[in-house]
Amino acid sequence: MSHYSPLIAAFVTLLLTLMLTVNKGALIQDIPNDRSLHTEPIPRSGGIALMAGILSGWMLMIQSWAWWIVLPVLGLFVLSLVDDMRSLAAGTRLVGHFVAALIVLFGTMLDWLWLLPVLLFIVWMTNLYNFMDGSDGLAGGMALFGFSFYGIAGLMHEDEAFAMMNFSVGAAALGFLYHNFYPAKIFMGDAGSIPLGFLAAAFGVWGWQQGYWPFWFPILVFSPFVADATLTLLKRAWRRENLSQAHRSHYYQRLVQMGWGHRNTAIVEYLLMFLAGASALWGIGLDAQWQGSLLACWVTIYLGLTTWVDRRWRRYQAGKENITDK
């Protein structure tokens, strides 16, 4: 029966997303701000459909649930949904993220040497996924590719339940993308992006603990998000900017602003997601030396890509200033 889980997840998400999109009067609206790339209010209750789809798929394999993943993801969903409706304080949200991460540590019973790095990894992944949810189809696409590669790796180790739980998340993202790809009719909101980021980290830790992949695998699979969010944060910290203030400094945001648009940016990001995930899957079977070479190659690729975008952005800004002066 678990083979049907992804189909159910996709169908339920697609159906509920359609219902939420049609019934606009009852939806939480995403009002444009300094971080937004859209100019008109758009419903952002898609996270409700996503989580309903994921849980519907998981219901067929309830005996395989890991309580230390299901309980905190439900808690984060409720917390983030309240935040979508009432805008909770950043400190309140962060406490919730740390509590969810601590539950994962308790459930996995990791060696104490790994506790702090894994704790920070989970909290960072939970938040960076939210940071990257700012362009049509981007966060849904990352979930589709990322969790699908997790699922394939699970099948390679003959863990069908683990694979289907991940495939269900990817399938739910596919159902959501039907209404979220450009031009987006609905956003997932924090109620969608925060749980997805948490699941990316939690399943990553679970697979590593089970010996399905090395510790770097989840980072490389989700590296299009990890690289953009991490480098952007470091650059803003270096410039002593207010890190809690809304902005449009992410690389994907700058591509959209420079004229690539939501559609082309998403397509290029999808290609990057596929290549990163496929190479990570291939790298599992390599020895340590070649794995190191693979990671070094990707570091070089991201440094090259970000440098290229930075240069193009400076030219774009200079061109705008020249037009203004005239």
User: Averaged over 293-314, what is the pLDDT?
Assistant: 97
Distance of alpha carbon 122 from alpha carbon 204, whole angstroms: 9
pLDDT beyond 80 at 35: no
User: Averaged over 250-275, what is the pLDDT?
Assistant: 96
Residue 88: DSSP 8-state:
-
Distance of alpha carbon 261 from alpha carbon 232, whole angstroms: 20
Mean pLDDT rounded to a whole number for the chain: 92
| 93-129 pLDDT per residue, tens | 999 999 999 999 999 989 999 999 999 999 999 999 9
* CB 181 within 8 Å of CB 126: no
Strands (E) in the chain, as ranges, are: 29-30, 42-43
Q: Which residue has the tokens 């999109």?
A: 21
| 182-214 pLDDT per residue, tens | 999 999 999 999 999 999 999 999 999 999 999
DSSP assignment of 252-263, as one string? HHHHIIIIIHHH
Helix or strand or coil: residue 234? helix
Share of the chain above pLDDT 90, in %: 80
User: Averaged over 162-168, what is the pLDDT?
Assistant: 97
Q: Which residue has the tokens 């020895």?
A: 287
Distance of alpha carbon 89 from alpha carbon 82, whole angstroms: 11
Query: By CB neighbour count within 10 A (0-12 exposed, 13-18 middle, 19+ buried), where does 54 fall?
Result: buried
DSSP assignment of 266-316, as one string? HHHHHHHHHHHHHHHHHHTTS-HHHHHHHHHHHHHHHHHHHHHHHHHHHHH
Q: Of the candidates 154, 150, 156, 207, which has an alpha carbon nearest to the alpha carbon of residue 173?
A: 150
Among the residue ranges 35-39, 48-52, 243-247, 275-279, the one predicted with the least confidence is 35-39
